[in-house]
């Protein structure tokens, strides 16, 4: 579910600004609706610039200053200005970036720290940009797949509103003028539409309350994890979401290892990322096993949700000592496979929505037109 959850991360509804928080310990506040982490698109532009500027020989502090001057994201621009000020005052880049971890993300901060320590800062900056670009491409594919079904759902709601507000009232008047009692189902349909029109404020209030409650619950970790696990093991979406989640986990781990971060530190960074409950349990088990010196494959049998072949690849990676390479290769494979499956499922949903909309309109039309045709036929027979 992490991948689907990632669909909203470019808007970054992750944490709120503390200045608007209504209470310190509240599970949900209005502040949480404001982005506190810079969007991945803005981060991609900045890190592409930094990698190019530093590679061409420009001083790091000057490169950060130039990137801040051209950055359009106010949150990220402010963070870059603070990083530049900290470096100018003698702090190391890793310490300066660490202070802005909430804006740039913990994985980026750790990668920069490792790159600075190993003297591979330019390579790390370029790899961070490549990673962000891959994530944005994946999100673009998924969002593009979601667009048409979303438009169809909106069209369905529009058709329902037109029927309730304009079509059914006219048929109701026709039945009254002809002094004909419509069939029971038609009566229920007309009375339901009349009830909605008469209590539109109440109906809108209920809809708003449901939306606000859903948003509030989404910011509760237990609720988000419950929904994620439900989708993670669903018979329809489960396979695609499991491939996406494990693929993203493997790719992120490989990215951190490539940047010189130790295996244990990489796992602990993954623990601080947002995952569904099952994937989080896998990462927790990895941490415990690595601390005790048992490796990543000690308890893989306990996690039956892993994609086909993932356990064998991890065993091979530990035996050959090429963990970073195997994680990167397998992660890209599973992520691409998950994206393809999700795209296919969303494509399949399009005709289902169209058929559902047609059935709904057909039932409404038949329920009001057929009785009227019967009345007209009876009148003509007389």
247/6 Cα distance (integer angstroms): 13
Which DSSP symbol is given to 227? H
Classified as helix, coil or strand, 73 is coil
For 71-100, what is the mean pLDDT?
90
**Across 134-142, average pLDDT:** 84
Q: What is the mean pLDDT of the chain?
A: 81
Residues in the chain: 382
Name residues whose C-beta falls within 8 Å of residue 208's C-beta, 6 or more positions apart in sequence. Answer: none
Pick from 7-11, 59-63, 64-68, 260-264: least confident: 7-11
Strand ranges in 71-193 using DSSP code E only, listed in sequence order:
none
Identify whether 149 is part of a domain: yes
How many structural domains compose the chain?
1
**How would you class 211 by CB atoms within 10 Å of its CB: exposed for 0-12, middle for 13-18, buried for 19 or more?**
exposed
Residue 111 in contact with residue 124, Cβ under 8 Å?
yes
Rounded Cα–Cα distance for residues 367 and 187 (Å): 9
Q: In this structure, what is the dihedral angle of CA atoms 31, 36, 40, 41, given to the nearest 10 degrees?
A: 80
pLDDT grade for 77, boundaries at 50, 70 and 90: very high
Is the predicted pLDDT of residue 374 greater than 90, yes or no? no
Determine the straight-line distance between the first and last CA of the chain, rounded to whole angstroms.
65
Alpha carbons 143 and 8: distance in angstroms, whole number: 9
Residue 4 has pLDDT above 60, yes or no: no
Exposure on the CB side of residue 156, measured as CA atoms within 13 A: 18
Whether 334 is covered by a domain: the verdict is yes
Which segment of 13-22, 45-54, 136-145, 237-246 scores lowest on mean pLDDT? 13-22
Cβ-contact 157, 182 below 8 angstroms: no
Q: What percent of the chain has pLDDT over 70?
A: 87
Q: For residues 259 and 320, what is the distance between their CA atoms, to the nearest angstrom?
A: 20
Q: What is the pLDDT of residue 379?
A: 62
Q: How far is the CA of 2 from the CAs of 164, 194, 231, in angstroms?
A: 38, 42, 10
**Cβ atoms of 353 and 152 closer than 8 Å:** yes
Res 2: pLDDT: 46
pLDDT band at 291 (very low <50, low <70, confident <90, very high): very high
* Range 7-16 contact pairs with CB under 8 angstroms and sequence separation of 24 or more: 7/139, 7/142, 7/143, 7/146, 9/40, 9/139, 10/39, 10/40, 10/41, 10/136, 10/139, 11/35, 11/39, 12/36, 12/37, 12/38, 12/39, 14/274, 15/102
- pLDDT at position 275, please? 61
134 has pLDDT over 60: yes
Q: Which token pair is 316?
A: 């091979």
For residue 29, pLDDT over 70 is answered with no
Query: What is the pLDDT, as a whole number, of residue 24?
Result: 36
User: 117 lies in a domain?
Assistant: no
**By the 8 A CB rule, do 332 and 315 touch?**
no
pLDDT score, position 82:
93
Kindly state whether residue 58 falls inside one of the protein's structural domains: no
Range of the domain at 333: 131-382
Averaged pLDDT, 182-205: 86
pLDDT (0 to 100) of residue 378:
59
Average pLDDT estimate for 201-220: 88
33 is a domain residue: no
pLDDT at position 381, please? 57
307 domain residue, yes or no: yes
Contacts of 267 (CB under 8 A, 6+ apart): 253, 283, 286, 287, 290
Distance CA 116, CA 120 (A): 6
pLDDT computed for residue 302 by the predictor = 84
Let me know if 359 is exposed, middle or buried by CB neighbors in 10 A (0-12, 13-18, 19+).
Answer: exposed
Average pLDDT over residues 86-114: 87
Sign of CA dihedral 96, 102, 39, 20: negative
C-alpha 236/C-alpha 348 separation (Å) is 11
How far, in Å, CA of 64 to CA of 362, rounded? 61
Residues of the chain with pLDDT > 90, as a percent, come to: 16
Whether the per-residue pLDDT at 276 is higher than 70: the answer is: no
User: What value, to the nearest 5°, has the Cα angle with vertex 175 and ends 170 and 176?
Assistant: 95
Q: How confident is the model at residue 35 (pLDDT cuts 50, 70, 90)?
A: low
pLDDT tops 90 at residue 83:
yes
Q: Which residues contact 61 (CB under 8 A, 6 or more apart)?
A: 84, 87, 88
User: Which pLDDT band, with edges at 50, 70 and 90, does 167 fall under?
Assistant: confident
CA 367, 370, 373, 375 dihedral sign is negative
Assess if residue 89 is contained within a domain.
Answer: no
Tell me, yes or no, whether 152 lies in a domain. Answer: yes
Neighbours of 163 (CB within 10 A): 19
Does pTM top 0.85 for this prediction? no
pLDDT band at 224 (very low <50, low <70, confident <90, very high): confident
């Amino acid at each position: 579910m992490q991948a689907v959850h990632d669909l909203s991360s470019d808007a970054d509804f992750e944490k709120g600004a503390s200045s608007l928080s209504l209470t310190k310990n509240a599970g949900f506040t209005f502040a949480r609706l404001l982005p506190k982490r810079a969007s991945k698109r803005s981060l991609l532009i900045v890190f592409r610039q930094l990698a190019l500027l530093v590679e061409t020989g420009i001083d790091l502090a000057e490169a950060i200053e130039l990137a801040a001057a051209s950055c359009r994201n106010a949150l990220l621009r402010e963070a870059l200005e603070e990083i530049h000020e900290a470096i100018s005052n003698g702090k190391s880049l890793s310490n300066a970036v660490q202070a802005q971890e909430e804006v740039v993300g913990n994985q980026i901060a750790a990668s920069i720290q490792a790159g600075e320590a190993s003297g591979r800062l330019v390579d790390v900056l370029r790899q961070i940009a490549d990673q962000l670009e891959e994530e944005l491409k994946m999100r673009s594919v998924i969002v593009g797949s979601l667009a048409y079904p979303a438009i169809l759902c909106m069209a369905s709601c529009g058709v329902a509103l037109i029927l309730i507000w304009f079509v059914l009232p006219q048929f109701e008047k026709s039945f009254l003028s002809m002094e004909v009692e419509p069939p029971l189902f038609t009566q229920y349909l007309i009375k339901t539409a009349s009830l909605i029109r008469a209590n539109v404020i109440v109906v809108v209030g209920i809809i708003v309350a449901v939306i606000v409650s859903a948003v509030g619950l989404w910011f509760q970790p237990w609720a988000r994890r419950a929904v994620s696990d439900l989708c993670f093991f669903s018979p329809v979406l489960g396979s695609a979401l499991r491939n996406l989640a494990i693929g993203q986990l493997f790719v992120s781990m490989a990215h951190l290892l490539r940047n010189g971060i130790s295996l244990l530190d990489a796992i602990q960074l993954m623990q601080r990322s947002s995952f569904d409950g099952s994937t989080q349990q896998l990462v927790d088990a990895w941490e415990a096993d690595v601390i005790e010196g048992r490796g990543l494959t000690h308890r893989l049998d306990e996690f039956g949700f892993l994609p086909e072949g993932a356990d064998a690849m991890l065993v091979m990676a530990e035996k050959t000592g090429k963990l970073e390479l195997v994680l990167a290769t397998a992660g890209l494979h599973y992520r691409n496979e998950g994206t393809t499956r999700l795209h296919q499922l969303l494509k399949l949903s399009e005709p289902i929505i169209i058929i559902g909309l047609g059935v709904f309109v057909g039932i409404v039309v038949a329920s009001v037109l057929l009785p009227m045709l019967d009345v007209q036929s009876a009148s003509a027979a007389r």
